[in-house]
């Protein structure tokens, strides 16, 4: 299993990365970002656990190239016997186990220093190999679905080795009507690179072509705007800084509004094309059904949140009052209601805090958490050229890896808890599941990580005796729910709307998408919010819209995590065992909805979403009361 990096929610991932903790790591009294070599070895991950050298990597690359022709020997022969089918599936697994090490090794080295041309080249080489593997194995699924259910059942009885593939085979047969002929599937697989062009154009445009202006910071110093700094400026206590950053970033995207609209329109059109080619009712169904997510789960999220917008409107009203402004604008949304509170934590202090907060998960979980720390799963501090943000990457047969840019803030401790949630999910899954069912989907992945985040902030709220710190944490908690449940659901509603429009034959122009996005902001943020014209273009800077019905999983994941955290805090050992054995260890052995249901959370109902919205209300009550006293 090679899992793509799990990024923290968009609103949390674009962090301004200062150097305080990196300086602590190297013991330097300097404002310079340290080089990779200056970071102490204890704060670096061990990528040599994957390959001890580039030569070992190349040997595995060559091995895969040599294995690919053998896959073709099974073409047209899968229906002959269970033995043939098993041999082919095992060969594909053997190949993907290796490619599942090749790409992460290259990519993670590249992320250590994005200017390193050698690992850029290796990453590209690994990506091309993955495309070759996909093309070489594209015949397998279409050939299997051509086998009658009766014959496949007999083959499974005759060949006991196929037992570990039973969920995969069952899932495949359920998708039978959507699988094309081997030739057609191979053709569509090769078209994948062409179909990725709109996303590639967006990335180049957003990261290299769009130029942002400079603004004056709180001290009157001229500073350049960037996506990485944007969220920090939106959180400034100086309203002029917030407004300037807001206008600067969104105004820059607005200059490319027609190009960005054409790019997103092209991306949506390819979703619609592939959905229609595979005979799905909609692009939404095509995106959800392969992961066994009913369309109703997606739509239920939007409906439930739409029925509970009043608390968000109330939150906007409270923020307006706390900020002391006559009008509240979109650029005020991230401004802290409680000023002059900083929770500074060294990395070792953050580790101790997270361990204590995760105690409801049980002793075994903490033992494995410590194993990850001691075994160098984590790359901790920023260095020159290091990619920003954070992620976790589970590699089958090795261990998970965690990428951080730890900066000494409470939010960094929260990111540590989040990414270790992903990592331990991968760890438990790999330990408990055979390879064919080890890989889990994002729908459940975001639950494991966010459960840890929630346990951490709940622990902090229960522990603190400082009223101002408590108000700060409540504000942070409310922001987490606003940005993860409300905001991501608004994104999901926008994504559904633009796909629906495209499927009806409409062209997604800049004017149309700005109108849709403006109306959603008016609806979500309520009558007291001034929905500034600049916000209408915000859709153009959201990279997740190039990941096909992806963002809703942040909202569902947060809701499931809130329900799990409540159970772990109130039910003790019974909830602990359910969570570990039925959820973390389940991997991809069943549908994500069923796995969560087995563990005690039913996402086919509105209940977990309602539990989260009720918690938002309670936190709002508490903050409102404290602000009134302060």
Instruction: Summarize pLDDT for 428-483 with one digit per residue, the tens.
Output: 999 999 999 999 998 999 999 999 999 999 999 999 999 999 999 999 999 999 99
- The rounded distance, in Å, linking the Cα atoms of 5 and 400 is 11
User: Among 372, 373, 378, 423, which residue's Cα sits nearest to residue 46?
Assistant: 378
Q: How far is CA 37 from CA 25, 40, 374, 383, in A?
A: 12, 8, 20, 9
Q: How many CA atoms lie within 13 A of 309 on its CB side?
A: 15
Q: How far apart are CA 234 and CA 323, in angstroms?
A: 14
- Rounded to whole angstroms, the Cα distance separating 488 from 465 reads 32
**C-alpha distance across the termini of the chain, in Å:** 52
Give the whole-angstrom CA distance, residue 461 versus residue 402: 26
Q: What is the pLDDT of residues 185-196, one digit of tens each?
A: 888 888 887 888
pLDDT recorded at residue 179: 83
Three-state SS sequence of 395-426 = ECCCCEEEECCCCCEHHHHHHHHHHHHHHHHH
pLDDT at 116 (0 to 100): 86
Active site positions, annotated: 419
**Interstrand relation of 222-224 and 214-216 (parallel, antiparallel or unpaired):** antiparallel
Its CATH class, for the domain covering 53-179, is: mainly alpha
Low-confidence stretches of the chain (pLDDT beneath 70): 1-31
* DSSP conformation letters of 575-604: HHHIIIIIIGGGTTSS-HHHHHHHHT--TT
Cβ-contact 575, 462 below 8 angstroms: no
pLDDT of residue 19: 28
E strand map for 373-480: 378-379, 391-394, 400-403
Q: Cβ neighbours of residue 405 under 8 Å, at least 6 residues apart? A: 15, 17, 381, 382, 386, 388, 389, 390, 412
Which two structure tokens, joined as six digits, stand for 19? 């150097």
Burial of 64 (0-12, 13-18, 19+ CB in 10 A): buried
Evaluate whether 295 touches 604 at the Cβ level (below 8 Å). no
CB 568 within 8 A of CB 576: yes
Please, what sign has the CA dihedral across residues 327, 328, 332, 334? positive
What is d(CA 211, CA 251) in angstroms, rounded to the nearest whole number? 10
Q: Give which of 57, 60, 62 is closest to 108, Cα–Cα.
A: 57
Q: Determine phi and psi for 332, rounding to 5 degrees.
A: -90, -10
Return the bridge partners of 391, or none: 403
- CA 471 to each of CA 184, 296, 321, 599: distance values in angstroms, whole numbers, following the listed order: 58, 37, 15, 33
Angle between helices 510-525 and 487-503 (to 10 degrees): 140
Residue 432: φ, ψ to 5°: -110, -20
- How many Å apart are CA 507 and CA 225, to the nearest integer? 32
- pLDDT score recorded for residue 562: 98
Q: Which of 403, 406, 424 is nearest to 414 (CA)?
A: 406
Query: Where exactly are the structural domains of the chain?
Result: 53-179
Cβ pair 578, 529 in contact under 8 A: no
Consecutive H or E run containing 250: helix 239-254
The mean pLDDT value of the chain amounts to 92
């Amino acid at each position: 299993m090679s899992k793509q990096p799990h990024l923290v929610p968009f609103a949390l991932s674009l962090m301004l990365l200062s150097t305080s903790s990196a300086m602590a790591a190297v013991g330097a009294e300097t404002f310079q970002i340290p080089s990779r070599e200056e970071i102490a070895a204890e704060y670096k991950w061990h990528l040599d656990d994957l390959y001890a050298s580039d030569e070992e990597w190349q040997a595995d690359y060559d091995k895969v190239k040599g294995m690919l022709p053998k896959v073709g020997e099974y073409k047209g022969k899968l229906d002959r016997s269970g033995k043939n089918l098993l041999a082919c599936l095992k060969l594909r697994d053997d190949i993907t186990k290796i490619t599942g090490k090749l790409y992460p090794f290259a990519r993670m080295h590249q992320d250590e220093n994005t200017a390193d041309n050698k690992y850029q080249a290796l990453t590209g080489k690994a990506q091309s190999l993955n495309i070759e593997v996909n093309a070489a194995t594209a015949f397998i699924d279409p050939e299997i679905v051509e086998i009658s259910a009766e014959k496949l059942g007999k083959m499974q009885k005759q060949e006991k080795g196929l037992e570990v593939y039973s969920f995969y085979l069952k899932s495949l047969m359920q998708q039978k009507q959507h699988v094309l002929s081997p030739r057609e599937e191979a053709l569509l697989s090769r078209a994948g690179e062409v179909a990725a062009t709109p996303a590639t154009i967006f990335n180049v445009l957003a990261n290299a072509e769009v130029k942002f202006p400079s603004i004056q910071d709180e001290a009157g110093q001229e500073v350049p705007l960037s996506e990485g700094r944007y969220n920090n400026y939106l959180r400034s206590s100086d309203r002029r800084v917030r407004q300037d950053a807001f206008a600067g970033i969104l105004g820059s995207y607005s200059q490319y509004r027609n190009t960005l609209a054409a790019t997103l329109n092209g991306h949506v059109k390819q979703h619609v094309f592939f959905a229609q080619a595979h005979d799905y009712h909609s692009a939404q169904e095509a995106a959800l059904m392969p992961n066994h997510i009913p369309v109703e789960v997606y739509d239920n999220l939007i409906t439930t949140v739409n029925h509970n917008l009043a608390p968000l409107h109330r939150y906007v009203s409270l923020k307006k009052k706390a900020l002391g402004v006559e009008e509240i604008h979109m650029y005020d949304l991230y401004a802290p209601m409680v000023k002059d509170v900083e929770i500074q934590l060294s990395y070792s202090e953050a580790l101790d805090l997270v361990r204590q907060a995760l105690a409801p998960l049980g002793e075994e979980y903490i033992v494995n958490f410590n194993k990850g720390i001691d075994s160098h799963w984590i790359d901790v501090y920023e260095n020159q050229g290091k990619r920003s943000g954070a992620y976790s990457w589970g590699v089958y047969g090795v261990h998970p890896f965690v990428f951080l840019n730890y900066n000494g803030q409470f939010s960094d401790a929260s990111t540590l808890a989040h990414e270790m949630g992903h990592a331990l999910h991968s760890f438990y899954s790999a330990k408990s599941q055979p390879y064919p069912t080890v890989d889990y989907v994002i729908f459940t992945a975001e639950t494991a990580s966010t459960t840890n985040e929630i346990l951490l902030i709940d622990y902090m709220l229960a522990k603190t005796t400082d009223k101002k710190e408590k108000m700060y944490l409540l504000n942070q908690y409310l922001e987490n729910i606003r940005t993860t449940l409300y905001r991501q659901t608004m994104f999901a509603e926008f994504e559904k709307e633009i796909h629906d429009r495209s499927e009806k034959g409409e062209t997604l122009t800049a004017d149309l998408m700005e109108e849709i996005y403006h109306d959603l902001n008016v609806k979500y943020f309520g009558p007291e919010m001034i929905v500034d014209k600049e916000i209408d273009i915000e859709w153009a800077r959201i990279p997740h819209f190039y990941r096909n019905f992806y963002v809703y999983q942040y909202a569902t994941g947060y809701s499931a995590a809130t329900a799990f955290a409540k159970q772990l805090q109130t039910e003790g050992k019974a909830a602990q065992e359910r969570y570990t054995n039925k959820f973390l260890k389940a991997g991809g052995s069943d549908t994500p909805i069923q796995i969560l249901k087995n563990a005690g959370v039913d996402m086919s109902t509105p209940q977990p979403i309602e539990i989260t919205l009720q918690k938002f209300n309670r936190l709002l009550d508490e903050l409102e009361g404290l602000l009134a006293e302060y």
